Every structure is written in C-alpha cells, then in structure tokens.
Amino acid sequence: MIVLHDQGGTYTAGEYQDGIAKIGEFPNTSRKGNGWDNGVAQLTFATIKIELFANSTLDGKDEVDRELFNHIESFYSRIRLHSTLGYITPAERAILPLQE
C-alpha cells in the first residue's frame, strides 16, 4: 500500500518514516509547494469511501478488497463520469488518442 501525505514535519520525521517502513508501506510525498500530486489520489479515495463505504456493513479485509475491486472495475472506471476527464469515464479516456 502507498501512504499519501504532504511534506509536513509529522510525515517527514524519521520516526514516522521508520514506522511506515516497518509495516511494509511506501510513503508518497508530493514535491515541496506542489499539493496537486496527491490531490487527485486523495479525492479519488475520498469519493470511493463515500460511494462504497458510507453505509457499509462489510465484514473483514477479504470482503472489503472484493467489494472495492468490483466497485472500481464495474462502476468507478466504466460508468461514473469524471469531471477531470471532461465528463467521460476512465475506460472511455483510455481508448481516446493522446492529445499533443
């Protein structure tokens, strides 16, 4: 898993970084003064949490993993329109030619 965070002192402290490494996670910090790097990922995760987990009764990691995969593959990527993509789905965007 990747842990997204900013460059605040809490997150860049050696003790925090060591703790992340001990549990097998990978820190991902945006460049200084550039909060956009993590912004899209954070918005994506926040949206999925609301859409999938807000009224959830999922029980256990396996069930959460399965439902999360199904949600992303069947709804989030193929049906849900994304404003950052011009109100098309990620699946539709993947088949469009790249703009130069």
Does this model's pTM top 0.85? no
Q: Residue ranges of the domains in the chain?
A: 51-100
Cα separation, 39 vs 30, in Å, equals 9
Mean pLDDT by 10 residues, the chain (100 residues): 56 74 70 61 83 85 91 91 89 80
Contacts of 87 (CB under 8 A, 6+ apart): 81
Provide the 3-class DSSP secondary structure of residue 13.
Answer: coil
Between CA 99 and CA 76 the distance in angstroms is 23
Cβ burial, residue 34 (10 Å; 0-12/13-18/19+) = exposed
Query: 51 near 79, Cβ under 8 Å?
Result: no
